[in-house]
């Protein structure tokens, strides 16, 4: 049964919040006045509050002022229950004034600090993360997305700080060493979108075409790294103004880089906060990949200013709509603004690939998921919500056509602005603009878990098609009784014909050519099975260069997963991949590299690697020789992106020339010579792998002195590549030290798991430190990365060990991730059992 919504009893329409924040002790005193209406006759009012020490509650009702009401707290439900002096009628309008204090938390949610250094000087920045249900940790409220209200915020704190919130500053008052900043009233919005930042900040600004004051803020040492964000953000805002057909709703828009941040960014209305590596770009030290990433994250967050903030999901079970849409439109906007980046091809190897891989597990979940308790929300901030969400919106966009899609979207935003909506409301608007059965079409894709595998055979004048749910694990597949049917939009390269498969088995009357590739540009969210004989025909299409980049990336993705699922033999796929030696597009190589890495991980042992390495070297030689280590003047965007992928493979497959080159560049770098940021990660990793303590010391001291978050991360990826036990131990000792920012630890842990020489040791570390990990990361979504990282094992014994360890642990928010991880390990073990021998014997031709 869904739990009660507090807004059904008391609905606020205005908040006045005054906070006095002591930056030395991190104590906060607060006064929040909430004005709202009773939705039902009542003798008490329930508000959300967590960790607030309430001192006094008063009530203003008409002309009467009631002092010191009684209250109790229900800490389990995070509720404050206030006794009213009498029973009040429905629609009674009242103002409740709560005086309280609170302590700033250290867990990257609510009001929290970031500690950072400029040179040797320690600094503090205070900011907020109130999504999904942490507004109640800053002020008493009805902390539900549908309870929209206006807010007047004022903050008192030490002088000399920049104080920012959602709206423009209305006034400042100074008293002694303190300053009070008053902000203009916000538009009507959800509590989770309120935000403020206090710190020593600098900014750069511009005014957009529509007259919006647009600023990018960062800590003072980073101020020369905001130019790309300022320029891109301004362009994206102008683009959305036109695309959504509604001008940006606020007078100003600030974007701020925060030193400690749990996710990539947060779309607070008018005050968007970012992890530093998702906003800052250094002209000498940032990679091209980071540049694309920054553009995508900005486009994502700015889209939320309309889709999410102006129109908000009615409840968290529609989170997918917010996130899926923003994750689709970020590609849409960046593809428009940077046409030569070929973003839609990259979508296939990014969002589409991760979503369709995760959704192939038996332990996946439907996009639309009932959420009763907000504590369940953390677990749905996952690939299915974001990336299956964006993938099926892309499919819908292709199905409807761009004109009808945009019109329906504009109507939806207009109709529900400053209000809330559900998934069905969007389908309704899109149905009206297109005359297509959108609700019916999307029902299966959102309410059912998984996706179909299409099998097919060619008849004289038709193609016989069947569909069944694709489950990666043969074991789980055998157990499954799933008879789900999807409406599958089918099309073929080289024809204009379309067909929607709506039954388990159906005939499509079409006279196809010999070479068939389904799913043009891989816009459909399904897999197609091509058996060995069909692959041979596809070879021809590939040689004729008849397939687009998304088609090639999608094809590799479809074909390689068939090996993992046991539908094809691994060696047949490895053989097929050799046709891609002259391939030049990074999304295709990302898919090839993902498969070879999976094979290496699941099937590999020392004997296997001996023969796998020469195979791998043959696969990449052509590209390795073409690209080399040095950027060419005016080389293509794709060549710059592809180089690190190919070099990383060369190092993994132990190409001597590549390793020596990396070592040589490392020595030059350690002597102060500049090193291309696009290849730094590989240079660090290869030198650490084939080096020792002196490489470790160099990287370690570079990490200590580095201020750029992106570079710190690359160095971490280098350090975690060591093979010597004493270096691994040194690294493990760093993990819970102050040297590593809280937000960055997961990437260190991930690196240590990915390295087969440190895998076992970091698993031991994780078990020994689980209590600390829980305390530091529990309740947020970073904790699930500690579980996901375990998917590098591939033995049944390991699944038993992991199950055993987590048997008696609190699994709130990580239960599904754990089940998915165990399923992945099991299926890797099964794959190994199935294909190890035949693959090894095929690989033995490579010496
Ligand atoms: Zn988002």
Q: What is the DSSP string of 644-665?
A: HHHHHHHHHTT-HHHHHHHHHH
- pTM equals 0.97
Residue 168 per-residue DSSP state: -
Rounded CA-CA distance 540/376 in Å is: 49
Contacts of residue 726, defined as CB under 8 A and 6 or more positions apart, other chains included, come to: 693
How far does residue 297's CA lie from ligand 1's centre (Å)?
Answer: 9
Section 427-445 average pLDDT: 96
How far does residue 384's CA lie from ligand 1's centre (Å)?
Answer: 13
* pLDDT exceeds 70 at position 2: no
- What is the structure's pLDDT at 3? 67
How far does residue 456's CA lie from ligand 1's centre (Å)?
Answer: 38
* pLDDT exceeds 90 at position 227: yes
Which of 448, 429, 427, 449 lies closest to 439 in space, CA to CA?
427
Yes or no: say if 838 and 571 are a contact pair by the CB < 8 Å rule. Answer: yes
- Tens of pLDDT, residues 762-795: 999 999 999 999 999 987 889 999 999 999 999 9
Rounded CA-CA distance 177/165 in Å is: 21
Give catalytic residue positions: 301
How far does residue 325's CA lie from ligand 1's centre (Å)?
Answer: 9
- Number of other residues whose CB lies within 10 A of the CB of residue 434: 18
Cα separations in angstroms, 407 against 248, 333, 401: 18, 17, 11
- What is the structure's pLDDT at 186? 98
Section 462-486 average pLDDT: 96
Contacts of residue 672, defined as CB under 8 A and 6 or more positions apart, other chains included, come to: none
How far does residue 827's CA lie from ligand 1's centre (Å)?
Answer: 31
How far does residue 293's CA lie from ligand 1's centre (Å)?
Answer: 14
- Tens of pLDDT, residues 151-209: 999 999 999 999 999 999 999 999 999 999 999 999 999 999 999 999 999 999 999 99
Rounded CA-CA distance 321/314 in Å is: 11
Give me the residue label for tokens 């687009």: 548
* pLDDT exceeds 80 at position 375: no
Section 817-843 average pLDDT: 97
Yes or no: say if 13 and 50 are a contact pair by the CB < 8 Å rule. Answer: no
Characterize 763-779 residue by residue with b for buried, 16 or more Cβ atoms within 10 angstroms of its Cβ, and e for exposed.
bebbeebeeebbebbbb
How far does residue 265's CA lie from ligand 1's centre (Å)?
Answer: 8
For the chain, give the number of residues. 847
* pLDDT exceeds 80 at position 432: yes
| In 463-569, alpha helices (H) | 474-479, 532-543, 549-564
* pLDDT exceeds 80 at position 379: no
How far does residue 299's CA lie from ligand 1's centre (Å)?
Answer: 10
How far does residue 323's CA lie from ligand 1's centre (Å)?
Answer: 5
- What is the structure's pLDDT at 812? 85
Section 346-367 average pLDDT: 97
How far does residue 163's CA lie from ligand 1's centre (Å)?
Answer: 24
The end-to-end CA distance of the chain, in Å, is 62
How far does residue 294's CA lie from ligand 1's centre (Å)?
Answer: 14
Task: Tell which phi-psi region holds residue 87, choosing left (phi > 0), alpha (psi between -120 and 50) or beta.
Answer: beta
How far does residue 304's CA lie from ligand 1's centre (Å)?
Answer: 7
Yes or no: say if 19 and 28 are a contact pair by the CB < 8 Å rule. Answer: yes
- Tens of pLDDT, residues 403-413: 999 999 999 99
Section 455-479 average pLDDT: 95
Contacts of residue 806, defined as CB under 8 A and 6 or more positions apart, other chains included, come to: 818
Section 630-652 average pLDDT: 98
- Give the distance, in angstroms, between the CA of residue 36 and the centroid of all CA atoms in the same chain: 36
- Tens of pLDDT, residues 544-585: 788 999 999 999 999 999 999 999 999 999 999 999 999 999
- What is the structure's pLDDT at 255? 98
Query: How confident is residue 122, by pLDDT bands cut at 50, 70 and 90?
Result: very high
Query: How confident is residue 374, by pLDDT bands cut at 50, 70 and 90?
Result: low
Angle at 275 between CA 31 and CA 30, to 5 degrees: 5
How far does residue 735's CA lie from ligand 1's centre (Å)?
Answer: 29
- What is the structure's pLDDT at 1? 40
How far does residue 541's CA lie from ligand 1's centre (Å)?
Answer: 38
| Dihedral angle computed from the Cα positions of residues 734, 736, 739 and 740, in that order, rounded to the nearest 10 degrees | 100
């Amino acid at each position: 049964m869904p739990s009660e919504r507090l807004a059904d009893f008391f609905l606020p329409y205005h908040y006045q919040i005054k906070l006095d924040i002591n930056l030395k002790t991190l104590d906060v005193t607060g006064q929040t006045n909430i004005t709202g209406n009773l939705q039902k006759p009542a003798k008490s009012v329930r508000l959300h509050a967590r960790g607030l020490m309430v001192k006094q509650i008063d009530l203003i009702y008409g002309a009467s002022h009631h002092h010191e009401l009684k209250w109790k707290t229900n800490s389990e439900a995070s509720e404050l229950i206030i006794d009213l002096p009498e029973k009040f009628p429905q629609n009674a309008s009242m103002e409740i004034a709560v005086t309280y204090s609170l302590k700033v938390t250290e867990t990257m949610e609510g009001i929290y600090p970031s500690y950072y250094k400029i040179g040797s000087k320690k600094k503090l920045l205070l900011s907020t993360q109130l999504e999904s249900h942490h507004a109640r940790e800053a002020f008493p409220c009805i902390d539900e997305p549908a309870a929209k209200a206006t807010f007047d915020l004022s903050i008192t704190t030490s002088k000399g700080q920049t104080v920012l919130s959602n709206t423009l500053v209305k006034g400042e008052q100074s008293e002694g060493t303190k300053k009070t900043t008053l902000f203009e009233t916000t538009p009507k919005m959800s509590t989770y979108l309120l935000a403020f930042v206090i710190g020593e900040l600098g900014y750069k600004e511009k005014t957009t075409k529509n007259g919006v004051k647009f600023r990018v803020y960062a800590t003072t040492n980073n101020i020369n790294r905001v130019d790309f964000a300022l320029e891109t953000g301004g362009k994206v805002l102008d683009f959305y103004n036109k695309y959504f057909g509604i001008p940006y709703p606020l007078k100003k828009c600030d974007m701020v880089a925060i030193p400690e941040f749990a996710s990539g960014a947060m779309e607070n209305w008018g005050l968007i906060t970012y992890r530093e590596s998702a906003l800052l770009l250094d002209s000498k030290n940032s990679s091209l990949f980071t540049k694309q990433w920054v553009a995508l994250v900005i486009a994502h967050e700015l889209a939320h200013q309309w889709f999410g903030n102006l129109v908000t999901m009615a409840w968290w079970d529609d989170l997918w709509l917010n996130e899926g849409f923003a994750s689709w439109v970020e590609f849409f906007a960046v593809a428009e603004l940077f046409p030569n980046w070929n973003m839609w091809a990259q979508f296939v190897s990014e969002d589409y690939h991760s979503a369709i891989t995760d959704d192939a597990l038996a332990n996946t979940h439907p996009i639309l998921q009932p959420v009763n308790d907000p504590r369940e929300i953390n677990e749905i901030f996952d690939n299915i919500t974001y990336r299956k969400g964006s993938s099926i919106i892309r499919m819908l966009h292709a199905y409807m056509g761009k004109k009808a899609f945009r019109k329906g979207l504009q109507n939806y935003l207009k109709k529900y602005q400053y209000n809330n909506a559900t998934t069905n409301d969007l389908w309704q608007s899109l149905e009206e603009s297109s005359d297509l059965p959108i609700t019916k079409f999307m029902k299966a894709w959102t309410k059912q878990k998984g996706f179909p595998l299409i099998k097919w055979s060619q008849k004289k004048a038709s193609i016989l098609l069947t569909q069944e749910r694709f489950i990666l694990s043969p074991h789980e597949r055998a157990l499954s009784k799933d008879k789900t049917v999807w409406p599958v939009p089918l099309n073929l390269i080289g024809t204009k014909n379309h067909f929607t498969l709506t039954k388990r088995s159906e005939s499509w009357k079409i006279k196809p050519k010999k070479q068939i590739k389904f799913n043009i540009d891989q816009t459909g969210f399904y897999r197609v099975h091509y058996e060995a004989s069909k692959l041979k025909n596809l070879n021809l299409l590939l040689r004729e260069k008849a397939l687009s980049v998304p088609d090639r990336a999608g094809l590799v993705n479809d074909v390689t997963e068939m090996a993992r699922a046991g539908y094809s033999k691994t060696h047949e796929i490895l053989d097929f991949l050799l046709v891609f030696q002259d391939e030049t597009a990074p999304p295709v190589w990302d898919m090839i590299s993902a498969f070879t890495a999976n094979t290496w991980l699941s099937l590999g042992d020392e004997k296997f690697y001996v023969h796998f390495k020469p195979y791998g070297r043959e696969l990449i030689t052509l590209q390795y020789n073409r690209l080399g280590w040095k950027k060419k003047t005016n080389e293509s965007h794709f060549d710059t992106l592809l180089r690190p992928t190919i070099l990383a493979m060369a190092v993994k497959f132990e190409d001597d020339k590549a390793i020596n080159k990396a070592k040589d560049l490392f020595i030059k770098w350690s002597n102060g010579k500049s090193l291309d940021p696009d290849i730094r990660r590989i240079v660090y990793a290869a030198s650490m792998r084939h080096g020792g303590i002196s490489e470790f010391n160099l990287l370690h001291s570079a990490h200590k002195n580095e201020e750029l978050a992106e570079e710190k991360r690359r160095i971490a990826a280098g350090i975690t590549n060591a093979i010597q036990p004493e270096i691994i131990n040194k690294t493990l000792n760093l993990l819970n030290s102050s040297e590593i920012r809280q937000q960055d630890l997961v990437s260190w842990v991930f690196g240590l798991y990915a390295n087969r020489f440190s895998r076992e040791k970091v698993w031991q570390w994780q078990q020994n430190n689980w209590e600390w990990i829980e305390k530091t990361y529990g309740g947020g979504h970073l904790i699930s990365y500690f579980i996901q990282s375990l998917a590098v094992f591939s033995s049944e014994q390991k699944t038993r060990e992991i199950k055993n360890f987590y048997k008696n642990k609190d699994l709130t928010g990580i239960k599904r991730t754990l089940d998915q991880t165990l399923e992945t390990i099991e299926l890797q073990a099964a794959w190994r059992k199935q294909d190890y021998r035949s693959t090894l014997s095929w690989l033995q031709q490579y010496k």
